[in-house]
């Protein structure tokens, strides 16, 4: 395994923006996509950050990701909105939805936007800090009805995608950023490890005969295996139930999902902004969240060299450190981007 190379965040952002504009995106769309992808790497989500840039460029080139246009409004109520994303870039659509929901939550207390027919939306955790910095809470979940890699608990045939669910919670200090899949692992991680010949940390996948395994190769061998729901062979009914919940909030509310013909890699999105000021008030909310943070940090560590952190704390500290040390880019990412840089005659960023 090659050692990760560090790059200045500003250089990576400019490089990604140039590639996306060269591939046909308008400056506003390119900027939104580049910023969200970079934020994924800043937070340490190396399979859902700039690792997605080369695949996104390929989708733009093939026309499977729309370059131009706007979303269509399917329904519009003061605190409940449904859009058709028209296969436009997911990060740009989600940013647009955040702006709308944030504005409406200021008068309604909450606003929910669901988006059908979005393209892939990258790392969910990458969206939350722009909301929590305003003292707001956001729930963001998605599914991809165009494919399936997770079997229902007790079954062999896949029905679901990893169906990530995320929450951003403001506090008086660092926000709490929760970003988890309803499955034991993700397609991005299993694909990477399979190409590298690596193993998963635990038995997070199941072969085509129903036997648990650490080897992601079982997902590609015949009969093909599946990723296990969160909880694995033992208590996967929990992840199975959460998968159902995300499907209802995304495909169900959007009116577009697994009952429809596949269109290609994409996402159906549920996004909800909640303003604590409309409930008990910002101060009361922060008092409760700050106390939970304090109690978690005060909990005696089970391992002496590993302190108890709040969700997302490690990623936020990685992000803060990148200003001085640069962004540690996973070794396979820049080689994937070299052909695109050559195609568009864009200089590669220099490592720091």
Q: In the CATH hierarchy, which fold is given to the domain comprising 5-144+152-169+186-278+323-344?
A: Ribosomal Protein S8; Chain: A, domain 1 (3.30.1370)
Are the C-beta atoms of residues 39 and 312 closer than 8 Å to each other?
no
SS3 of residue 229 by DSSP: strand
In this structure, the number of other CB atoms found within 10 A of the CB of residue 237 comes to 14
Specify the pLDDT at position 1: 58
The C-alpha atoms of residue 131 and residue 275 are separated, in whole angstroms, by: 10
DSSP β-ladder status, 110-118 and 80-84: parallel
Distances, alpha carbon 99 to alpha carbons 73, 106, 133, 254, 297, in Å: 15, 11, 13, 19, 33
SS3 content of the chain, % helix, strand, coil (to 5): 45, 20, 40
Cα 212 vs. chain centroid, distance in angstroms?
Answer: 26
Residue that is written with structure tokens 């960023």 in the block: 349
Are the C-beta atoms of residues 97 and 130 closer than 8 Å to each other?
no
Q: What residue segments make up the domains of the chain, in order of their start?
A: 5-144+152-169+186-278+323-344
For residue 279, which of 136, 133, 104, 93 has the smallest C-alpha distance?
136
Are the C-beta atoms of residues 182 and 242 closer than 8 Å to each other?
yes
Could you give the percent of the chain with pLDDT greater than 70? 100
The C-alpha atoms of residue 166 and residue 178 are separated, in whole angstroms, by: 5
For residue 240, which of 319, 150, 171, 165 has the smallest C-alpha distance?
150
Specify the pLDDT at position 123: 98
Tokens of 222: 């015949």
The C-alpha atoms of residue 210 and residue 223 are separated, in whole angstroms, by: 10
Each residue of 314-327: pLDDT tens digit?
999 999 999 889 99
Per-residue pLDDT of the chain (352 residues; tens, 9 = 90+): 578 899 999 999 999 999 999 999 999 999 999 999 999 999 999 999 999 999 999 999 999 999 999 999 999 999 999 999 999 999 999 999 999 999 999 999 999 999 999 999 999 999 999 999 999 999 999 999 999 999 999 999 999 999 999 999 999 999 999 999 999 999 999 999 999 999 999 999 999 999 999 999 999 999 999 999 999 999 999 999 999 999 999 999 999 999 999 999 999 999 999 999 999 999 999 999 999 999 999 999 999 889 999 999 999 999 999 988 999 999 999 999 999 999 999 999 999 9
Strand order across the 205-206 sheet: 212-213, 205-206, 226-227
Indicate the helix (H) or strand (E) that contains 169: strand 165-169
Residue that is written with structure tokens 């250089």 in the block: 11
Each residue of 22-35: pLDDT tens digit?
999 999 999 999 99
For residue 104, which of 79, 129, 128 has the smallest C-alpha distance?
79
pTM: 0.96
Tokens of 76: 């519009």
> Looking at the DSSP assignment, which residues form a beta bridge with residue 143?
268
């Amino acid at each position: 395994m090659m050692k990760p190379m560090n790059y200045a965040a500003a250089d990576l952002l400019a490089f990604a923006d140039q590639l996306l504009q060269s591939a046909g995106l308008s400056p506003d769309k390119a900027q939104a996509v580049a910023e969200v992808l970079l934020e994924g790497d800043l937070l340490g989500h190396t399979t859902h950050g700039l690792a997605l840039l080369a695949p996104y460029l390929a989708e733009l080139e093939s026309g499977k990701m729309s370059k131009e246009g706007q979303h269509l409004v399917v329904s519009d109520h003061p605190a409940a909105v449904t859009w058709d994303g028209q296969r436009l870039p997911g990060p740009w659509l989600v940013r647009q939805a955040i702006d709308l929901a944030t504005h409406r939550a200021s008068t309604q207390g909450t606003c929910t936007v669901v988006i059908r027919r979005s393209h892939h939306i990258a790392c969910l955790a990458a969206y939350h800090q722009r909301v929590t910095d305003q003292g707001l809470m956001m729930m963001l979940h998605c599914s991809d009805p165009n494919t399936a890699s997770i079997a229902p608990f007790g079954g062999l045939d896949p029905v679901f995608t990893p169906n990530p669910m995320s929450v951003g919670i403001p506090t008086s200090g660092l926000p709490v950023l929760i970003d988890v899949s309803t499955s034991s692992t993700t397609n991005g991680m299993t694909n990477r490890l399979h190409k590298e010949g690596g193993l998963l940390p635990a038995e997070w996948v199941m072969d085509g005969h129903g036997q648990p395994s650490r080897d992601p190769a079982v997902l590609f061998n015949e009969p093909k295996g599946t990723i296990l729901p969160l909880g694995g062979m033992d208590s996967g009914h929990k992840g199975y139930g959460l998968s159902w919940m995300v499907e209802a909030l995304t495909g169900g509310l959007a009116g577009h999902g697994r009952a429809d013909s596949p269109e290609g890699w994409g996402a159906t999105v549920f996004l909800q902004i909640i303003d604590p000021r409309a409930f008990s008030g910002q101060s009361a909310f922060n008092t409760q969240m700050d106390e939970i943070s304090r109690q978690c940090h005060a909990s005696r560590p089970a391992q002496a060299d590993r302190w108890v952190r709040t969700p997302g704390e490690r990623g936020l500290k990685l992000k803060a450190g990148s200003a001085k040390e640069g962004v540690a880019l996973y070794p396979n990412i820049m080689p994937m981007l070299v052909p695109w840089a050559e195609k568009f005659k864009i200089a590669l960023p220099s490592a720091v």
